[in-house]
Structures are given as C-alpha cells and as structure tokens.
Amino acid sequence: MSNAKEVRPFGIRDKVGYMFGDLANDFSFIFASTYVMVFYTKIMGISTAMVGTMFLIARCIDAFTDIGMGRIVDSSKPTKNGRIRPWILRMCGFVALASFLMYQSFLVNAPYGAKVAYMFVTYILWGSIFYTSINIPYGSMASVISSEPKDRSSLSVFRSVGGTFAGILIGVMAPSLVYYTDEAGNQVVSAGRISLVAGAFSVIAVICYLLCYFMTTERVEYVPKTTEKKSVGATLKSLLTNRALLGMIVSAVLLLLASLMGQGINVYLFADYFKNTSALSIFSLLMLPCVILMAMFSTKLATRFGKKECGVAGMAASAVLYLIMGILHIQNVWAFVVGAFFAMLGMYFFQTQCWALVTDVIDDVEVQTGSRDDGTIYGIYSFSRKIGQAIAGGLSGWALGWIGYDSLAAGQTQEVANGIYNLSTFFPAVIYLLCALALQFIYPLSKKRVDSNVAELQKRANAQKNA
C-alpha cells in the first residue's frame, strides 16, 4: 500500500505528456504521409506504381507486426517505471533514425533495383517495425495512466490536440523548407533540404517522446492473468467477435473515410468549383479552432452524458449540416467555409474522443473474459485504421474518375465542378450518418456500462490486493 501512496495523482502533467507522444509520432508519420512519395518519385526517380506496390506490401506486413507488437506489450512484465511506458524509451531512438534514413539520396545515381531495394527496406523498417513498436505501446498507455473515464477522455482530447498541432506545424513549415524555386520559376524538391528537415523532425520527435515518457505515470496496477494463456488465434477469435471492438472499428474507419476523402477532394473543390485556392489555406486552418473548442468542452460533455451518446449526437449533427450544404449548393466560398466550420464541430467531438473508446473497450473485454489485452486490442484497432487509410487514399482518385474529372484539362466542365461539390458535401453527410448509426446500434458501451465496468475492475483489483 505504501507504493500506491507514492504515485502522483493524475493531472495536467500527464495530459501534456501524452500530447507530446502524439506530436512525436506525427513528426515522422505525417511528414512521411505527405513527402515520402514525393521523395521517392521526384528525387529517387522510382515509379509511382512501384511506390504504391510497396505501400500495399507494407500494409500486409502491418497485419502481423501491429498485432504481434500488441501481444508483446500484453506479455510485458511490470518494472519500476511501469509495464507499457518503458517501450517509449526503448524504441524512440530507433524510430527516429529509421525515419531519417528513408530520406537519404546517396543512391540517386545507383541502379534502379538498388534504389527500390533501399526504399523497401527503409520504409518497412520505419513503418512496419519501429513505428509500430512505439505506436502500439503509446496507444495502449492511455488505459494504464488512469482508470477513470473522465481522465481517459482528457487524454484522448490532448492526443488529438497534439496530432493537430503537428499537422499544422508540418503543413506550414515543411513546404518552404523542402522546396526551392528554380530559374524558370518552378517549385523543385531539394534532396539535401528534405534530408535535413527529416533529420530535424527526427530529433524533435525524440525530444517529444522523452517528454512523454518522463511526464506520464502508469497508475493502473497490473493484475496477472488467472485464466489459462490463450493462443494468438484464440485471442484474435475472441476479440474479433467482441461487439464493442467491432463497433469501435466500424465507426473509426467510417470517420477516417470521410475525413481523408474530404482532404483529398477539397483541393479540387476550391480550385475547380470555387476557383479560389487562397481560401483553401483558411479552410485548412479551421481544424485548429474546431479542435480547441472541442478540447474545452468535449471531456465535460463526455463525462456528463457519455462518449457514445455525445458521439452519436455529434456525428448526426455533422451529417445533417453537410446534407443541408449539399442541397443548398452554396456558390459563395466564404459562406461554404463558415458552414463547414459548424458542420465539422460534431465530427471533431467524436474525433477527439475516439481514442478514449479504445480504453473503454479494453476494460469491457477484461470484465467479460478476465484477460487484459491492452496491446492486442490497440494493435487490431491500429491495423484497421491503416486499412481505412489505404482505402481512403485511393477513394478520392476513384471518385474523381467516376464524375468525369479530366486531369489534363485547364478547367473542368460545370457538370464536373458540380460533381466535385456533391462529393464534398453529400459523401461526408452519408458517411457521418452511417458512423452515428454504427455507434448507436453496434457499439454497446453506454455511459452506464462504462461506469459499471470501471467499478467492477476496481472491485477485482481491491480483492486481488486483499487476497
């Protein structure tokens, strides 16, 4: 009992520390999502088809490494610094180094096969091995930093804030650092600069990982499994038939589809429908005030009414507002920007809280099975999100083809422009509605059930101590 008294109470230090963890992740992940294909194609001269093939192979490998790392985390034994948290310290240097190595151009004049081999090795080493080895423990950590639903909601919000800040910093800083203007006025990617930027971001990522490690504390005590250890196959079969996990995955993948599809289509919306690309920058910055507003209110709302309940209301509200915008067929770009701001608020509520659903699912599985599988559950969730990202990555291109978009034309016909507008409004309206329905009818963890699970696990933990 004396050890328990020494544990620092949960507070702002944990929230900010956890936020730094997502900042660290995204200094390599968002930068890679934005620039790794640019580097491979424009600097290394590798075909887009080969890069796409590599991405597909990497996602297949992720199916094993994400869940495998989850099992490793679940098998980790407690140390004086925690059970899951030490993985941040162990792996932060490796993921940063692997990220830096992806952007080295010393093989630019080498045979094509050598360049492709280097691309495959460094990208898979970074994304499928080292990034996975730190992201799975990081995501699993939220369930052991605190057992309180309110605290977990706060961690989810701060994680979302961290990701948003990283996205804005990279979006604002990287283009001016990576590109230069040649004598003809063209924007050209600099091999040396992109390598330096990758190195700087890797160093910043390590600093943020260390801040995450030293500012957070594990408080949920590890209870050894009393049931017989299951095989990987039996564990996966049990988890993949769990309604709460399936509901969370369906709703999260739907959210990703709508969000990433929107990001891809909005570039064409402002260029070809509104013919005002300068407004796109302001529109892109809207996510910051949206996330800030949700950071201020979402935890209080989730604590009072429940994460599921507020998520359903938020996604339904966003669906209705996007539907209205689609029907109105707004012509004025600034009216659209204002409408989109309010339409995104409900969506951003769920986005800031979706990470907290993972911890609720982990608790629910433990109550039902007696087995706590933090890492495995987060590994399955992480892999499902990657599949959603892969689908969404191609969806915007396919959708533009369906409406007749001509990439070689200087301008699009009015019919195509209207099709782009419809994609940017009716598509999110439908997907957000489906997300609300998935939360309502598939995901079973209401506020009452979440609170009941927390009480049951606390009761079991107390009984274990007194045994």
Average pLDDT for residues 44-60, to the nearest whole number?
Answer: 86
Tell me the range of 247-251, 280-284, 372-376 where mean pLDDT is highest. Answer: 247-251
Q: How far is CA 328 from the centre of its chain?
A: 32
pTM > 0.75: yes or no: yes
What are the domain boundaries of the chain? Answer: 1-220, 232-461
Q: Contact at 8 Å (CB) between 247 and 52?
A: no
- DSSP tag of 218: -
Q: Which residues contact 383 (CB under 8 A, 6 or more apart)?
A: 62, 63, 66, 67
Kindly report, residue by residue over 192-249, the tens digit of the pLDDT: 999 999 999 999 999 999 999 999 999 987 766 555 555 666 666 666 778 999 999 9
What pLDDT does 309 receive?
Answer: 95
What pLDDT does 2 receive?
Answer: 41
The closest of 34, 24, 41 to 173, measured between CA atoms, is: 34
**CA distance linking residue 85 with residue 87, whole number of Å:** 5
The residue among 329 and 188 whose pLDDT is bigger is 329
**Is it the case that residue 20 has pLDDT exceeding 50?**
yes
- Classify 148 as helix, strand or coil: coil
Please check whether the two domains, 1-220 and 232-461, share a CATH topology: yes
Does the domain at 1-220 match CATH 1.20.1250.20? Answer given as: yes
The token duo for 95 is 């993921």
What CATH code would you report for 232-461? 1.20.1250.20
**CA distance linking residue 450 with residue 420, whole number of Å:** 41
Average pLDDT for residues 321-333, to the nearest whole number?
Answer: 96
